[in-house]
């Protein structure tokens, strides 16, 4: 016979739902997307379309499937001012074509949640760092993926935020969009990206974003130390 204490503990566990802490992924990836004043509504949704197209591309499914575990964890948030960070899509485990297609559909209909403000990349890195600390999956690698069309002009120093994240084994990659600041890729390389295997993939403009983000996602998922 099951005693009362055992019954209560079992009921509580069932009420809490399944635990995802034990689920493993090859990489936990935070997608930090600039949604400041410099990004128009059309430009923001071109980014979302680019992410959706990348999720549907066969090369991404192949890259995920080639991993030791065959799954990645992804969280998507928008940033602007030092205190303006809004998670658009919470942590999701993507492990195959069906998962990627479902995620692409969510990206296509996701609304813009941050409209305007300064560009605080250092604080965005801190937010991404905190999101990785709260990731519900056991990850072999942890990556923050920053995309935007301008240098940081507010908030915490980018270098300090980068040093804190990199010091804990997090890699920061960058996707600078060069339509507003043609030398933004040099800024990203000097101040934003860091950690093991860190790299930067520039996009000439928002129309070029689709191909750039696809190549970037494939590269960071396929990464071999």
Residue 153 is part of a domain; what is its CATH number?
3.40.50.410
Ramachandran region, residue 70 (left: φ > 0; alpha: ψ -120 to 50; beta: rest): left
E strand residue ranges, the chain: 24-34, 72-79, 85-94, 138-148, 171-176
Is 180 a member of any domain? Answer: yes
Asked if residue 87 belongs to a domain, the reply is: yes
Q: How many angstroms separate the CA atoms of 135 and 161, rounded?
A: 19
CB-CB neighbours of 153 under 10 Å: 11
Domain that holds residue 56: 28-222
Higher pLDDT, 8 or 223: 223
Could you tell me if residue 17 is inside a domain?
A: no
User: How many Å apart are CA 223 and CA 225, to the nearest integer?
Assistant: 7
For 78-134, what is each residue's pLDDT tens digit? Answer: 999 999 999 999 999 999 999 999 999 999 999 999 998 999 999 999 999 999 999
In this structure, is residue 146 part of a structural domain?
A: yes
Neighbours of 151 (CB within 10 A): 18
Tally of domains within the chain:
1
pLDDT for 130-180, tens place per residue? 999 999 999 999 999 999 999 999 999 999 999 999 999 999 999 999 999
Residue 13 lies in a domain: no
Alpha-carbon distance of 97 to 105, in angstroms, equals 12
Task: Judge whether 11 lies within some domain.
Answer: no
């Amino acid at each position: 016979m099951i005693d009362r204490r055992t019954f209560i503990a079992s009921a509580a566990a069932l009420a809490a739902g399944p635990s995802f802490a034990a689920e493993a992924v090859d990489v936990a990836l935070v997608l930090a997307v600039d949604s400041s004043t410099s990004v128009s509504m059309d430009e923001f949704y071109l980014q979302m379309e680019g992410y959706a197209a990348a999720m549907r591309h066969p090369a991404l499914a192949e890259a995920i499937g080639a991993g030791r575990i065959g799954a990645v964890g992804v969280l998507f948030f928008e940033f602007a001012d030092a205190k303006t960070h809004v998670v658009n899509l919470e942590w999701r485990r993507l492990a195959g074509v069906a998962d990627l297609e479902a995620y692409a559909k969510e990206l296509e209909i996701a609304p813009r949640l941050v409209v305007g403000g300064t560009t605080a990349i250092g604080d965005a890195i801190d937010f991404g760092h905190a999101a990785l600390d709260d990731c519900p999956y056991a990850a072999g690698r942890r990556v923050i993926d920053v995309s935007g069309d301008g240098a940081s002009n507010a908030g915490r120093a980018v270098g300090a935020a980068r040093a804190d994240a990199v010091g804990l084994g997090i890699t920061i990659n960058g996707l600078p969009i060069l339509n507003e600041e043609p030398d933004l890729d040099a800024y990203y390389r000097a101040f934003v990206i860091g950690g093991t295997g860190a790299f930067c993939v520039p996009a000439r403009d928002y129309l070029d974003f689709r191909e750039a983000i696809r190549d970037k996602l494939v590269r960071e998922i396929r990464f071999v130390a």
